[in-house]
Amino acid sequence: MVTIQRLITAALVACRTATGIPTIEIKGSKFFTSEGNQFYVKGITYEFASSLSSSYLTNGQQCKIDAKLIGATGANVVRVYSIDPTLNLDECMQAFADEGIYVICDMSTPTFFINREKPIWTLNLRNQFAKVLDGLHKYDNLLALFAGNEVINDVNTTIAAPAIKAVIADMKGYRDLMQYRKIPIGYSSTDETTTNLLQNYLDCGNEDIAADFFALDNYGWCGESSMAKSGYDALYARANGYDIPIFLSETGCNHVKNRSFNDQVALLGRDMNDRYSGSIIYEWTMGVNKYGLVEYSNDQATGTPKLLADYTALQSRWSTLNPVGVKATAYDPTLTKRDCPQSTSGVWLVEAKAGTEIPTLGLSGFTAPTGRQASATGRIPTSSIIVGSGSSSDSNKLESGRSGGSTKLGGGAIAGIVMGAIFLFLVMCGILLFLWRKNRPKKEVTVNPGDDAPLKGELDATSRDMTHQPIYQELSGAKYTQELGPSHAQYELRTDERPGELPDQRDEHQHLDDTGHYAPEFTDQEPAAEPSPHVQAQRRREMEWLEMEEMRMRQRREQLMKQGGAG
């Protein structure tokens, strides 16, 4: 029975070829669909306020609900901060593809990331990042991958730049070795004083080691602002002549009570759309930072959510913004890569070398496949970096068999064979779909709150060995600095012994006034530069999780003591 269900599932995947979605390709500083139309990112960050895991895109039924609602805003992209590539993502990826929505995903996970304080690119990290690429490459609606997210957040952490570039170089090498389509691999940066230097650093050097695109998290445009007041004019100037796509990977300031998303008019309109490829709005679900577009009635974020005022405002704003751009065939860019920035004390702590200082690990231990890799829709993907046009006639040749002779068929005969094969294929798809729906198991897994079995990740932190435990485990409050989340700058536990902490902040709605006190929640004043809002949201959720774990352990200890006393 299991074998039959596997065959049915495989056939259903093949039947989805008619519902495929064009892949996204890069030419110069712009994204294009494989059909040659310029692509602008109109995205939303997609995660759940209560989640501390990397198991996104696994609830197919929920993805179908959310994908329709996200698509109704006019969005064509969701950003996912972490996935577990060992889990089945087919239903969710197909649900988004059916709505014309692409996915951009971070390669880092709660367990595997570049530590900004001790930025070491190891074979273990390389192999885990490669697994993310293995798990996602087959989906045509995978737009791009982030090699890191806000790893560098000040001058001292610029020492992590070579490790970030090594991730990009090795993962591009692995992608090409495995004959995957050229999925763009880039970086998501915080927007602060070192950003321009980092942008140039990741762009310098040859294409084998340089980023395919650059993105940044920026919340400078608040309410009824302007290009000059928000600093968007500086962002636009920085992108002049840039040779790879650039876009905002997080935006949507909420320092005003009701967001109008006026910055989208600038980003997708004539002010910026010749140099910028769009932006991603933070965020889908309502959390402690009050950036949500929708709100669920339960902590699991399941069911149909309530649409909030910001959802309607974004939908209204995007409905008027549909830039067409330029056709790939009419676009002939004359762009050059940036020079590597010079090492400067107190400004940039990396030597100005295009590639010699990058700690790449190469591809040792990986084995190239013997054939080209098919996509989830059953199609053999083509190169995703547009370099010209042309086709091979090899696939159109009919071989006659062992004799080596040729078989000539008339055009009508060939057409008849093709139509007959298509008809039989569709009939088989229908039969298999019927059998699959009839025979699929309907099982629910329940957990008894009273069970005394230890929870996942409840091992003693001092006895853990990263090489002998499951790759994707729940955050356990152990000694590891965690990179996850929109700013997953890092999932960081605040103790004096753990490096890499961001400055402590209150809710991202608030800022210090001249007296050193926190101002009211909403203000008309332009906000000061600050890390992206998800850092604090993730930290709060982590502390709540740790508090629940402590309470559960205390109750368990008391229970064991009572049992011991009774014995």
Say how far apart CA 111 and CA 302 lie, in whole Å.
Answer: 25
Q: Tell me which of 250, 283, 474, 542 is the catalytic residue.
A: 250
Beta partners for 41? Answer: 278
Q: State the number of CA atoms in the 13 A half-sphere of 125 facing the CB.
A: 25
Name every residue whose Cβ is closer than 8 Å to that of residue 56 and which is 6 or more positions away in sequence. Answer: 46, 47, 48, 80, 81, 82, 83
Rounded CA separation 541/488 (Å)? 13
Q: What is the 3-state secondary structure (H, E, C) of 267-326?
A: HHCCCCCCCCCEEEECCCECCCCCCCCEECCCCCCCCCCEECHHHHHHHHHHCCCCCCCC
Q: Of 79, 89, 78, give the one whose Cα is nearest residue 135.
A: 89
Phi and psi dihedrals of 307, rounded to 5? Answer: -85, 125
Residues 26, 183: Cα–Cα separation, whole Å = 9
Say how far residue 302 (Cα) sits from the centre of its chain.
21
Q: Which two tokens stand for residue 168?
A: 């990009």
Token readout for 281 is 């709005």
Neighbours of 124 (CB within 10 A): 12
Say which residues have a Cβ less than 8 Å from residue 555's Cβ, sequence separation at least 6: none
Q: Which of 150, 192, 483, 542 is catalytic?
A: 150
* Alpha carbon distances (Å) from 53 to 103, 299, 350, 483, 556: 18, 14, 34, 12, 24
157 close to 350: Cβ distance less than 8 angstroms: no
Single-letter residue type at 114: I
Rounded CA gap, 163 and 126, in Å? 11
Burial (0-12, 13-18, 19+ Cβ within 10 Å), 164: buried
| Distance separating alpha carbons of residues 142 and 140, to the nearest angstrom | 6
250 an active-site residue? yes
d(CA 297, CA 483): 28
Alpha helices by DSSP H, 327-480: 411-439
How far is residue 534's CA from residue 310's CA, in Å, rounded to a whole number?
Answer: 18
CB 133 within 8 A of CB 107: yes
- Interatomic CA distance for residues 478 and 430, integer angstroms: 51
Beta-carbon contacts of 91 under 8 Å, excluding residues fewer than 6 positions away, are: 60, 61, 63, 64
Euclidean distance between CA atoms 100 and 173, whole angstroms:
29
Name the residues annotated as catalytic: 150, 250
